[in-house]
Amino acid sequence: MAFLQDQWQSHSRQANPTRRYSSQREFEADWVGRLRRRYGLSQEALAVMASVSVTTVQNWENPGSRKNIAPHNQDRLRDIDRDLWIKSHVTLLDPCPPFIRALYDLLSGNRDESAQGLAAYLVTSMAADDPERPRLLHWASLTHSIADPASAKAREYQQAALKSLGNGAGFLSAAIENEILGSQFEDLLREVESPERREMGQHLMDACRRLYQRDRQPAYLWNALEVACRAPLARAVQYGLLGELTDLLGEAAVRRRVLSDSAYEAVRAAFPSQAEAASLN
């Protein structure tokens, strides 16, 4: 069965899907559009990657098109999606151990179950104090989340990786932490509005604050504020972080970023426009 046909059938079996489609063709069109938006691709860029014309991509995204996407092109889109996902989630930092290269090759080859099996074996075999253990646990989480972003096993490995990192310093530790927290932020954005989403946001915001307290890098406070705005967490939490950033960087710098970045829309009311400020006086 071709990739998008299988995806369509899986979607059709959901009891309460986030969106309903009238046909496989409409589902395909939306899937291709979401692929481009997720990775910031133009139709021209996707056409080059898929070795087709721009007109073909336009037809793929047209729900009124009469023909479904050809099976070989569906599988090509699957490979493109997988390749882009891997590149956006992992970094092959040198020195790269052979087992990390093996996991990378298995994931690139669409062999998730083999990658999961190898990762599980390595996790049970590696000593708890091995300096490579945090990176292995991170990759073990990726072998599950590449197929299922909401995988409980992936989150279990992520938490184990963060615990194994402890207060480790250095470039590798920072890179692993950033990749894990980035994956958790993507998980947060996929969750529907709910107490569970806010609880995830609270844990993620706390992690960002711990990183700031350790390294004193303002970027971690900005990340914590974005999580608080997008979860969303309580107004008091959002404005508390905003106050910390203002004390640290000054009102002008914080105002500029908050008003220009949609991620912080929830706290824009803290900086009224000049006209609004004049009316308040």
- pLDDT score of 234: 94
- pLDDT score of 254: 95
- pLDDT score of 250: 95
Cβ contacts of 74 within 8 Å, gap of 6 or more = 2, 3, 4, 5, 28
Per-residue confidence of the chain (281 residues) as pLDDT tens digits?
Answer: 788 988 899 888 888 877 889 999 999 999 999 999 988 899 999 999 999 999 999 999 999 988 899 999 999 999 999 989 888 877 777 778 899 999 999 998 889 999 999 999 999 999 988 888 888 998 999 999 888 877 889 889 988 887 887 655 566 677 777 777 877 787 788 777 888 888 888 888 988 888 888 788 898 899 999 999 999 999 999 999 999 999 999 999 999 999 999 999 999 999 986 444 444 44
- pLDDT score of 99: 92
Q: 3-84, what's its fold? A: 434 Repressor (Amino-terminal Domain) (1.10.260)
Domain boundaries, the chain: 3-84, 90-164, 191-281
pTM exceeding the 0.85 threshold for the entire prediction: no
Helix axes 98-108, 133-145, angle to 10 degrees: 10
Q: DSSP for the chain?
A: --HHHHHHHHHHT-SS-SS--SSHHHHHHHHHHHHHHHHT--HHHHHHHHTS-HHHHHHHT-TT-SSPPPHHHHHHHHHHHHHHHHHHH---PSS--HHHHHHHHHHHTT-HHHHHHHHHHHHHHS-TT-TTHHHHHHHHHHHHHTT-TT-HHHHHHHHHHHHHHTT--SHHHHHHHHHHHHHHHHHHHHSPSSHHHHHHHHHHHHHHHHHHHHH--HHHHHHHHHHHHHTT--HHHHHHHHHHHHHHH-HHHHHHHHHH-GGGGGGGGGS--HHHHHHH-
